[in-house]
Chains A and B, each alone.
Chain A
Amino acid sequence: MLLNKKALLATIPSDSHSWNLVFMEFFLEENGYDVSNLGPNTPLHDIEKALHTGYYDMVVISSTNGHAYIEAQELAKRIRASATHNGQLFLGGKICTQTDPEIIAHHTAALKDCGFDEVFDDSVMNSFDRFQLLLTPPASMPVQPVSAMHRASA
């Protein structure tokens, strides 16, 4: 398969969850991305360094520990301020410790103000399908029916 686009995959410094990163790596590769997975507890500095030394079409931050609403703000600000990355910047997972849609909307707006193009909290239904639409897979690749795996429990 021709991997003609590059994605940088990382999380926030306090988050040690990694199954989300393993999954995302598979997922982005299938959608035609060459993925650099920086692994759990990513120091901000490592993200900055990667963006300084290489070009990425997209940066994906995946976090589930509930601290993204705090730490990802600074992360986005620093990425945007350094002007080393003008491409897409996404955040997904569980962005805070609440599931109240209003609180999530509030944090989402704040995170977008700091520089994220989109924020996909997994307590918002179908955020994954919205994300997948943004990936524009190469025509040769059938789109994996990811939403089917996220079906509501019986």
Chain B
Amino acid sequence: MLDFNKHVLESAAEYGPVVQPRMGFSDPQLMSQGLQATAQANANSVCTITLDAFTRVNNFQAAGRSIEQGAALNGYPIVNHPPAVTRRMLQDIEQTRNLPVQIRHGSPDPTQIFKRMGEVGVSATEGGPVSYCLPYSRVPLEKALADWAVASRSLSTSSPHSHVESFAGCMMGQMCDPVTLIALNILEGLFLQDHGVSTVSFSYAQGISPVQDLAAATALKHLAADFFEQGKHHLVLYVFMGFFPKSLDGFRRISTDALRVAKQAGVQRIILKTPVESKRIPTIRENVASMEFAAQILRHPQTGSGLPFDRDEYRRILSQASTLIDQVLQLDPDLSQALLMAFASGLLSIPYCLHPDNKRTARVTLTKDNYYLSHANEELDCSYSFLKNLRRNIDTYDLTVTA
């Protein structure tokens, strides 16, 4: 079994940031073709198997029925397909291409998924007890923490290279102060490490301003280095995870901004989107095109420079996130307990997250520089202004004429 973290660190050092699709198909043959195509793309790529939404909620009956009826799911039902089939497609990639595969799932209780991962020989995945609970389910946070503790332990015993990428840098996909996202990343990383996971990665999703993003990604990098051993972690940047631009040009421009941030912040891995994000799940060819496009932009010398570094914003994010982490850690020696208390009191809170354990104490606004900033209990008044804020990147990247 390949070491995902080691691969990313080494190949990013040699060839620049690794690019990765969010690819997942219900049909094993198509899934296997997708892995091969990713591996053969003209880019420094790693492969992904994204799981379907039935598997994410442990509804294996529904997944099974859909497979029988040949109904297309929104991802690969790894628990339902025979282990031998999945093992073969993974081995093909590892052995013939020497590339690791990451399993992406979104499950508040990944016990079954991780068990299957052990059986088919794959050890890299993503999520976390908070980031795969609050925005992804209505499961009580207490249960998600307990289930993730058990699942992480089992993942770590099934392989010496267990790797989990915290999804905390995304949460709802948009409209959150980076301070919260970054503090949560570190807290989830500590949780995963406590429960035996060998290596971790930290995520940050593009916001509305590449300048704020550069400050935030840099702050995350420095905090991660304070808390985690060198060589045992890496950083991931996501191309915008919220309400996505609809045009090809919008895709090109928003992705280019994310790639600039990634390269200038020294991020090792980038999760890509495609031009059809707003409409449907992309085909294999669309995914490959997007990886090759990203590789080309990353090779361009201009991508590595030019974004201003906002030192004040960097300091604000770094100091507020550090304070938040300390405040949470001081609540209880048991991190699960501390996280529960932090959400119960509203110390940690995710804007607009409907989960019953999220107190909704935090609201977020956009500053005049297009930065996300937390405000306590601020009201966004109506569907029009709400949608207008949610659509900010659509308006910026689709509708503004390129200078």
Q: What is the interface of chain A, defined by CB distance below 8 A to chain B? A: 13-16, 18-19, 21-23, 26-27, 30, 37, 39-42, 65-67, 69-71, 94, 96-99, 123, 144, 146, 149, 152-154
- What are 17 A-to-B residue pairs whose CB atoms are below 8 Å? A15-B53, A19-B242, A19-B352, A22-B354, A22-B386, A26-B383, A39-B138, A40-B138, A41-B57, A67-B53, A71-B62, A99-B279, A123-B280, A149-B384, A152-B246, A153-B247, A153-B398
Pick the contact of A40 from B242, B354, B390 — CB < 8 Å? B354
- Cβ proximity bits B158-182 to A, threshold 8 Å, 1 near / 0 not: 0000000000000011000000000
Contact of A70 with B172 in the complex, beta carbons under 8 Å: no
CA distance A27 to B53 in the complex (A): 27
Pick the contact of A67 from B54, B247, B352 — CB < 8 Å? B54
On chain B, the residues within 8 Å of A123 by CB distance are: 279-280
Contact of B383 with A19 in the complex, beta carbons under 8 Å: no
Distance in angstroms from B56 CB to nearest chain A CB is: 7
Chain A-chain B contacts (Cβ-Cβ < 8 Å), number: 103
Contact of A14 with B354 in the complex, beta carbons under 8 Å: no
CA distance A42 to B138 in the complex (A): 8
Contact of A70 with B106 in the complex, beta carbons under 8 Å: no
On chain B, the residues within 8 Å of A23 by CB distance are: 383, 386-387, 390
CA distance A135 to B11 in the complex (A): 56
Contact of A65 with B53 in the complex, beta carbons under 8 Å: yes
- Most chain B Cβ neighbours within 10 Å, of A14, A21, A69, A71: A14
Contact of A14 with B57 in the complex, beta carbons under 8 Å: yes
CA distance A123 to B278 in the complex (A): 10
Pick the contact of A97 from B245, B281, B390, B399 — CB < 8 Å? B281
Distance in angstroms from A82 CB to nearest chain B CB is: 21
Q: Decide if B365 is an interface residue (CB 8 Å cutoff).
A: no
Closest A residue to B398 by beta carbon equals: A153
Contact of A97 with B53 in the complex, beta carbons under 8 Å: no
On chain A, the residues within 8 Å of B387 by CB distance are: 23, 149
Contact of B354 with A97 in the complex, beta carbons under 8 Å: no
Contact of A22 with B352 in the complex, beta carbons under 8 Å: yes
CA distance A40 to B134 in the complex (A): 10
Known contacts A18-B172, A26-B386, A153-B250; is-contact A66 B394 (Cβ 8 Å): no
Contact of B54 with A14 in the complex, beta carbons under 8 Å: yes
Pick the contact of B390 from A16, A19, A27, A66 — CB < 8 Å? A19
Q: Decide if B80 is an interface residue (CB 8 Å cutoff).
A: no
Contact of A18 with B73 in the complex, beta carbons under 8 Å: no
CA distance A146 to B386 in the complex (A): 12
Question: Which residues 200-253 of B have a CB within 8 angstroms of A?
Answer: 242-243, 245-247, 250
Contact of A16 with B56 in the complex, beta carbons under 8 Å: yes
On chain B, the residues within 8 Å of A66 by CB distance are: 53, 72-74, 281
Q: Decide if B97 is an interface residue (CB 8 Å cutoff).
A: no
Distance in angstroms from A114 CB to nearest chain B CB is: 15
Contact of B386 with A14 in the complex, beta carbons under 8 Å: no
Pick the contact of A153 from B53, B390, B399 — CB < 8 Å? B399
Distance in angstroms from B85 CB to nearest chain A CB is: 21
Distance in angstroms from B401 CB to nearest chain A CB is: 8
On chain A, the residues within 8 Å of B384 by CB distance are: 144, 146, 149
Known contacts A14-B56, A41-B57, A97-B280; is-contact A70 B383 (Cβ 8 Å): no
Known contacts A23-B386, A66-B281, A146-B383; is-contact A153 B246 (Cβ 8 Å): yes
On chain B, the residues within 8 Å of A30 by CB distance are: 382-383
Pick the contact of B354 from A13, A37, A153, A154 — CB < 8 Å? A37
Known contacts A65-B74, A97-B74; is-contact A18 B398 (Cβ 8 Å): no
CA distance A27 to B390 in the complex (A): 14
On chain B, the residues within 8 Å of A26 by CB distance are: 382-383, 386
Pick the contact of A21 from B73, B250, B354 — CB < 8 Å? B354
Contact of A99 with B280 in the complex, beta carbons under 8 Å: yes
Contact of B354 with A18 in the complex, beta carbons under 8 Å: yes
Question: Which residues 51-69 of B have a CB within 8 angstroms of A?
Answer: 53-54, 56-57, 59, 62, 66
CA distance A26 to B352 in the complex (A): 12
CA distance A96 to B73 in the complex (A): 9
On chain B, the residues within 8 Å of A42 by CB distance are: 138
Contact of B386 with A18 in the complex, beta carbons under 8 Å: no
CA distance A69 to B53 in the complex (A): 13
On chain B, the residues within 8 Å of A65 by CB distance are: 53, 74
CA distance A14 to B107 in the complex (A): 11
Known contacts A67-B53, A97-B72, A144-B382; is-contact A19 B62 (Cβ 8 Å): no
On chain A, the residues within 8 Å of B41 by CB distance are: none
- Most chain B Cβ neighbours within 10 Å, of A13, A16, A70, A71: A16
Pick the contact of A154 from B66, B74, B355, B398 — CB < 8 Å? B398
